[in-house]
A and B are shown apart, each in its own frame.
Chain A
Amino acid sequence: MSPDGTDEKHTAGTDPSETTDGSGPPETTDVVETRGTETNTADTAADTAPDPETTVWRGPAAWIVPALAAILGLVALWGAVTIEAPPNATSPGPGAFPGAVGALLLIIAVCMSVVNLRNQGSGKGSSPFAWFESRPVLLVLVGLVAHTALLEFVGWLLAGALLFWVVAYAFGARAYLRDAIVALSMSAAVQVGFSLGLGLNLPGGFLELVL
């Protein structure tokens, strides 16, 4: 299981309303007992998404992580070969470690592909696309991109408020005006707190020129 901070585990189906409706043990019990058995399929978890850490990947999505590992491995190997070591460098030069990491990444990618191919045959596992909701994710990402692009032009106050509002919207907040007020006050509080408390200057943007 993961140490603190990486709490995927119990975000999986710990909806209290479900555990108290009198049917069966709480979801968390489920999670711990099936851990490591690698056969926890989606249909046992009803409408909640399965715990990703123990699910077997399936379908085209199963190739994303192996592909990622392979690409990273190739980049690392390419770097290991092309890094120009300064003439005075000692024997295991700057390329040695990237080479090792790259090779290991490629080996891992191959291992995961083999596992995938075998699972494809056995018919167990599930695709994350079954529960993945891309709309809110895209909204949050759009908010982040907009914030990054606008930050130095419109200033922290507005860019931050916009980010807050968009993320709140993505998570289902629909009281637009109230959300906007909360967003603006959060953003303003951060800006004031930071410049007064820590002497950190967040960009003022065009408001700085106006005021």
Chain B
Amino acid sequence: MDTLINLMDGLASALTPQNLMWAFLGVLLGTAVGVLPGMGSAMAVALLLPVTFRFDPTSAFILFAGVYYGGMFGGATTSILLNTPGQASSIATTYEGHKMALNGRAAQALGTAVIGSFVASVIGTLVVALFAPVMVAFALNFGPGEYFALTVFSFVAVAAVVSGSVLRGVTSLLIGLAIGLVGIDAQSGAARFDFGSSSLMDGIDIVIVTVGLLALGEVLYIAARGKSAPNFAAIRTGRPWLGRKDLRRSWKPWLRGTALGSAFGPIPGSGAEIPTFLSLGLERRLAARRARRTGEEDEFGQGAIEGVAGPESANNSSAAGTMVPLLGLGLPTSATAAIMLAAFQQYGLQPGPVLFERNAELVWTLLASLLIGSVLLLVINLPFAPLWARLLKLPKPYLYAGITLFSVLAVYAINTSVTHLVMLLAVAVLGLVMRTFGVPVAPALIGVVLGPIAETEFRRALAASSGDPSILVGSGISIGLYALVLLAAALPLIAFLRRRRADARAVDVKEPVERP
């Protein structure tokens, strides 16, 4: 009950014209970056970060949350119409969604995607409102040892799960951790890796890292791909519309997708892809079973509306789900959440129990504005989805020139320092190298944000026990987390070994002579 009252209070303070404007601006921007391939909500939030320093924190977070949700809505439009997912979270939508569009059912596909996203955002946000306080109550038992275990868990989960190759995921994470080392050590005050430069003494600003890796790195990478970069061609559209039959087929996948997204959103490293693909697989299996039992036609492979409804609600509720550990524990589980955590830190706020105690108003206003954002997104997406798809007709040179200009601006705005621009250039080249060699950048971002937290908690734990390392495994919570670490580390290893055995068998059959 408390939760509902708090949420109502939040709603009341979120409904000021100013906050509404920020929410609207956020969802508008989020939808735009969601539509455009190669841009994501993480990049948009990173570019906005320095600009919003001058705002009060509530407005800034309303803006960020709107961008985050909007990205999930916008991604669907291009997946369906162009088979070009705007974000990784909408890849699963392309399979059935684009086939529906090719069959002339683009309107229904867009309709079920937008309404499904709306349903999932609202339910997902309510789940956050209910569970974040529970998470906070749980987190009150956390000491430095437990927090350290938590960061180790997310490092391993992110590095092992996010990328195609574990080795590259770990490389990315370590690069991020190394970048996070630069600057004055918070515990002892010793200057580290400053190489005699006073700018480096303050550390490498998170804005530089995110803008460099995500925005400028992407621009350079697309330049490098030249002709093989995506080309946005003609668009066939339709106004989103759902008939009664489609509605009947959609509502169950919406709810199932929402449940999957909410369950996986809070887990570090799972991101939005895992629940979307799980949802797609689940709907496909259910459709096959329905076809066997009732003889109802299984449309999967030819454009089944269930295959759009499920994944699209899953990615939205997973975006909501990442808010639970972010607000409750200060633990980011996606790249966008990592940047939002950095934003909290820049405002001197520490997500977790303290935030709920001292800045309760901000938290509840934020949650309430997520609800408002969902409604706004429904309004700007349902009638205007074809209009959003037209964004792809923007000339590509101007689009990337614009991103470059804003990247430079965002970094210069931190402290009006040209030295920061030089650092940006270095990080952007690093981002280009990582992308070119397929080293994922998300683990690096999590490493930069969580690395200093992990170090601080580790050293605080040891200081509290005066050097006795047993404090690190001193409670059931930390032992449980380390067990999860081992599990997260073991899963890809087992998959790798099984794959290798299968490969070896295949080679044996084909060319038995060449085997050493």
Interface positions of A (Cβ within 8 A of B): 1-17, 19, 26, 28-29, 32, 35-38, 47-49, 51-55, 57, 61, 64-65, 68-69, 72, 75-76, 79, 83-86, 88-94, 96-98, 101-102, 104-105, 108, 111-112, 115, 128, 131-134, 136-137, 139-141, 143-145, 147-148, 151-152, 160, 163-165, 167-173, 179, 182-183, 186-187, 190, 194, 198-203
Contact = CB atoms under 8 A, between A and B. Distances in A.
User: When A and B form their complex, which 4 residue pairs have the shortest distance between CB atoms, in order from nearest?
Assistant: A5-B42, A52-B438, A5-B40, A173-B397
B395 A173 contact: yes
A90 B40 CA distance: 42
A85 B190 contact: yes
Nearest to B322: A3
B437 A57 contact: yes
Secondary structure type dominating chain B contacts: helix
B188 A65 contact: no
Given A11-B222, A83-B190, A190-B405, A105 B178 contact: yes
Contact of B188 (A10, A15, A93): A93
B438 A10 contact: no
A152 B418 contact: yes
Contact of A97 (B37, B82, B438, B455): B455
26 contacts: A3-B336, A4-B42, A4-B88, A4-B271, A5-B87, A5-B214, A5-B336, A7-B218, A9-B91, A10-B85, A11-B222, A28-B85, A35-B164, A52-B436, A72-B175, A85-B190, A93-B190, A94-B187, A97-B455, A101-B181, A108-B167, A148-B421, A152-B418, A167-B219, A168-B397, A194-B413
B73 interface: no
B214 A14 contact: no
Contacts, number: 334
Interface in B157-176: 162-165, 167-168, 170-171, 174-175
Given A14-B83, A170-B223, 8 more contacts: A3-B336, A5-B442, A13-B228, A72-B174, A92-B459, A132-B436, A172-B396, A182-B398
Contacts of B408: 144, 147, 160, 163
Contacts of A145: 425
Contacts of A160: 405, 408-409
Secondary structure type dominating chain A contacts: helix
Interface of B: 37-43, 51, 54, 71-72, 82-89, 91, 94-95, 98, 162-165, 167-168, 170-171, 174-175, 177-178, 181, 185, 187-193, 214, 216, 218-233, 271-273, 277, 334-336, 395-398, 400-402, 404-406, 408-409, 412-413, 416, 418, 421-422, 425, 428-429, 432-442, 451, 455, 458-459, 462-463, 466-467, 495, 499
